[in-house]
Amino acid sequence: MTTPKKPTAKKKTKPTAASAHSQWAGHKPLEHAQIRKIVFGIMLAMFLAALDQTIVATSLPTIGRSLGAVEHLSWIVTAYLLTSTAVTPLYGKLSDMYGRRAMMLLAIAIFIAGSIVAALSTSMLMLILARGLQGLGAGGLLPIAQTIIGDVVLPKERGRYQTYLSIMWTSAAISGPVLGGFISEYWHWTVIFWINIPIGFLAMLMSNAVLKGLPSLARPHKLDILGSLLMMAAAVSMLLALTSGGVRFAWLSAPIIGLLMLSAFLWLLFIWRLRTAPEPFLPLAMLANPVVRFGTMLSACNLSCIIGLTIFVPMYFDLVLGLSASLSGLSLIPLMVVSNIGAAVAGRGLGYFTHYKRVPMVGLTVSLVALLSLTIDPQQSLTSVLIHLGAVGLGIGTVYPVATVAVQNAVPRHQLGIATGTMNFFRALLSAIIVAALGAIILGGINVKGGGAEVAAALQASSSADIALIFRWVFAACGGVLASALLALILMEERPLPGRADIPMAAAPPAPAAE
C-alpha cells in the first residue's frame, strides 16, 4: 500500500526581463531618433515649470516695492508650491484616462493663462492668485513628461532620457535666480511672466506636433472626485502649516496646530476613501507594490535633500565662509553640475548593468561620507566645502534615473501616469517638510521667534563659529534623510528591465517539436 504523495509547493519564480514582455507585446519600439524628437519636444514645457520655481525668488524685493504688501511676499512662492504639488497626482490619473497629449496641452494652456494674469497684476492679491493658477498648470508638466518617456521608451533604455530631463531641470534651477535678478534690475519685473507666453506657445506647438503620433494608451476609468479632493485638501493643509510655522506663526500656535490636525483628519478620510471607493484615486494594488513604495521613498528622500541644501547652503556660504550673495549662489554650481554627471552615469548604466542598484548604492554612500565630514567639521575651507558638496551631488544624481525607471517598470503601462504623478507628489510634499525642518533647526539655533527682519538681524549678529555649529545639525539632518534613501534603495527589489532583445524573444512562437 503506497502512501499518497504530499502536494509539492510551487516555487516562486523571480521575474525576468523576458517574462516582463507582456506589457510590450505587439509594441514596435521607436527608433532613438524618434524618441529624441519626442523628448526634446516636451522638454521646453518642463523648462517653463522648472524655471518659474526659482526665477521669482531674486525679484521678490522689487515686486514688493512695486506692489506694496511686503509682508505677503512669501505667498508668491507659497501659492505656486501649494497648487503645483496638490494637482500633480491628479494630472497623472487624468493622463491615464484621457491621454498624455491632451493633458500636456491643457497644463501648458493653464500655465500660460496664469502667466498672463501675473504679468497684468496690479495688486499683491492678484499676483498671488495668478501664481496659484500658474502652479495648477505647472504641476502637470513634469509627471506627464516622465510618463510619456515611460510610454515610448523600453525600461532598459529610459535612463538616458531621464538624464536629459534631470539636466534640463537642474539648468533651469540654476539659471532661474540669475535671470530673475537680471530682469528685475535692468527691465521690469513683469517681464519675468511675459517671457513665459511666447515660450509657452512654442512649447505647446512643439508638444502638439511630437505627441500626435504617440500611441494612445488611454483606458476607461472613473475619476474618484471625492478621493482626489480629500488628498489635495490634506496636502494643502499640511503645506500651509509647514510654510507658515516659525515664520508667520510659532510652531506651537493655535493656527499651526489646527492646520496640522485638520491635515491629519483629512489624510484619515483619504485612507478610508481608498479602502471603500470602487475605483480609488490611488489604486491599492499599486500602493501595496513594494517597488513603488520603496522607489517613491527613495526618490522623495533624495530630492528633498538636494532641495534643502540648495535653499540653505547659500546662507552657509554667506554667514560662515563670508562670500557675497552672488558668489554664494554661484557656489552651488558644483553641486548641480556634478549631480548631472552622476545622473548620466547611472542612467547609462541602466542599459548595461544587470544590477543597476549598485551605482546609486555607491553614490549615496559617497554622499553620506561627505555629509558626515561636514557635520564633524563645518568650518572647512571653501575649496574643501565645494569638493564635499560635489561628492554629495554626485551621489544624489545617481538616484534620479534609477528611482523613476524602477517605479515605472513595476506598474502596468495603463497606470504609468498615476504612478509617476504619485511619486512626484510625495517628492514635493517631503521636500516641503524637510525645508521646514531645516528652517526650524536654524531658527532654534539662533533662538529667535518670528521671521523676516528679526531672523536676518539675529543671523548677522551671530559669529561665523556659532552659525557653523548650527549648520552642523543641518548637514546631519540631510545625512539622515540620505540614509533613509539608502535604506529604501537596499529594500527596493531589483526587477529586470526589458529591452529590445527581450520582446521578440518572449513574443516569438514556440519552436516546433523535434520529429
Residue-wise pLDDT for 304-348, tens only, equals 998 888 878 888 888 888 887 667 767 777 888 888 889 888 988
Cell reading at 360:
546609486
**Residues 311 and 405 reside in one and the same domain:** yes
Q: What is the pLDDT of residue 300?
A: 94
Read off the pTM. Answer: 0.80
9-13, 330-334, 360-364, 398-402: least confidently modelled range: 9-13
**Residues 106 and 208 reside in one and the same domain:** yes
CA 507 from centroid of its chain's CA atoms = 36
User: Are 348 and 367 in contact, with CB atoms under 8 Å apart?
Assistant: no
Q: Could you read off the pLDDT of 174-197 as tens digits, one per residue?
A: 677 778 777 877 888 899 899 899
User: Are 240 and 436 in contact, with CB atoms under 8 Å apart?
Assistant: no
**Residues 275 and 302 reside in one and the same domain:** no
Q: Three-state DSSP class for 249?
A: strand
216/77 Cα distance (integer angstroms) = 36
Residue 2 within a domain: no
Structural domain of residue 266, as residue ranges? 225-281
Residue 369 within a domain: yes
Under the banding of pLDDT at 50, 70 and 90, the label for residue 374 is very high
Phi-psi region of 121 (alpha: psi -120 to 50; beta: other; left: phi over 0): beta
**Residues 326 and 239 reside in one and the same domain:** no
Residue where one domain finishes, among candidates 235, 252, 281: 281
**Residues 338 and 459 reside in one and the same domain:** yes
Q: What is the pLDDT of residue 95?
A: 86
Residue 7 within a domain: no
pLDDT at 6 over 50: no
As for how many domains the chain has, the answer is 3
Which CATH number characterizes residue 318's domain?
A: 1.20.1250.20
Residue 74 within a domain: yes
**Residues 254 and 377 reside in one and the same domain:** no
CA angle 156, 484, 153 (to 5 degrees): 15
Closest by CA to 105, choosing from 167, 41, 162, 150, is 41
**Residues 298 and 430 reside in one and the same domain:** yes
Q: Could you read off the pLDDT of 227-284 as tens digits, one per residue?
A: 888 988 898 888 888 877 776 788 888 999 999 999 999 999 999 998 898 888 777 7
Residue where one domain finishes, among candidates 191, 212, 233: 212
Q: What radius of gyration, in Å, describes the C-alpha atoms of the chain? A: 24
Under the banding of pLDDT at 50, 70 and 90, the label for residue 67 is confident
Cell reading at 402:
534609477
373/385 Cα distance (integer angstroms) = 10
Cell reading at 496:
529586470
Residue 373 within a domain: yes
pLDDT at 101 over 80: yes
**Residues 40 and 81 reside in one and the same domain:** yes
Residue 502 within a domain: no
Closest by CA to 492, choosing from 423, 410, 420, 413, is 410
* Mean of pLDDT over the chain: 82
DSSP letter string over 71-97?
GGTHHHHHHHHHHHHHHHHHHHHHHHH
Residue 407 within a domain: yes
Mean pLDDT for 33-50 is 82
Q: What percentage of the chain has pLDDT greater than the value 70?
A: 84
Under the banding of pLDDT at 50, 70 and 90, the label for residue 58 is low
**Residues 237 and 339 reside in one and the same domain:** no
pLDDT at 68 over 50: yes
**Residues 111 and 238 reside in one and the same domain:** no
Provide the sign of the torsion angle of the four alpha carbons 23, 271, 250, 471, taken in this order: negative
**Residues 311 and 367 reside in one and the same domain:** yes
Q: Could you read off the pLDDT of 388-446 as tens digits, one per residue?
A: 999 999 999 999 889 999 998 998 877 888 888 889 888 888 888 888 888 888 877 77
Residue 253 within a domain: yes
**Residues 245 and 269 reside in one and the same domain:** yes
Residue where one domain finishes, among candidates 154, 177, 212: 212
User: Are 50 and 143 in contact, with CB atoms under 8 Å apart?
Assistant: no
